Chain A
Amino acid sequence: GAVVSQHPSRVICKSGTSVKIECRSLDFQATTMFWYRQFPKQSLMLMATSNEGSKATYEQGVEKDKFLINHASLTLSTLTVTSAHPEDSSFYICSARRGTGSGANYGYTFGSGTRLTVV
């Protein structure tokens, strides 16, 4: 159980276009999802926290108009990279939180990641 599907796994797009990445929790409801970005040989950097039915909370330095996050249902969050540039090329990973409440022993499940290349 607790599977998170992330799609697409790889995408190549032209500069100036937009790309949408989907993150789905397949067998549980995820009230909260997280989007991370990973540069080569570096750690995961939290970009934003996405709560179902409300606006995402972005980390400092992340452009909310560039990285649009929508969490319209309990099983789907999307990240749209708008007007992509080569410097947006990266590995993007989502994570979904199972369970509710604060400080609880809830689990986090990660998607398999999306390799974005902007040419």
Chain B
Amino acid sequence: AQSVAQPEDQVNVAEGNPLTVKCTYSVSGNPYLFWYVQYPNRGLQFLLKYITGDNLVKGSYGFEAEFNKSQTSFHLKKPSALVSDSALYFCAVREGTGGFKTIFGAGTRLFVKA
């Protein structure tokens, strides 16, 4: 069965500093990996995805993520954090071959301090 782990409940970073939000996954086939952001009382907004190709994926709002097959990780990164990046971030995985269900991690709350 597929699963996603986000080991940090919360990440604190100062504005202007780089940020990393960690994600590891487990899936039997090839993984489709996603990052979403959620603001209070709102639905999820898509940030980026990895399907195939380059391991470094660039997405919305300056975010990027690196797929590491050997470590089964897909950490979200941004070179310079903004206060407006403060939100709840979810990593998600879907099995690539015939997979329909998207399984979400527990979420990591990002606080960016001015």
Contact = CB atoms under 8 A, between A and B. Distances in A.
Interface of B: 32, 36, 41-46, 51, 90, 96-107
Nearest to B45: A110
Majority SS at the chain A contact face:
strand
24 contacts: A6-B43, A32-B100, A34-B102, A41-B107, A42-B106, A42-B107, A43-B107, A44-B104, A46-B103, A49-B101, A93-B43, A93-B44, A102-B97, A102-B98, A102-B99, A103-B98, A105-B51, A107-B46, A108-B46, A108-B102, A110-B36, A110-B43, A112-B42, A113-B43
B66 to A, nearest CB: 19
B99 A110 contact: no
Interface residues of A, number: 25
A103 B44 CA distance: 22
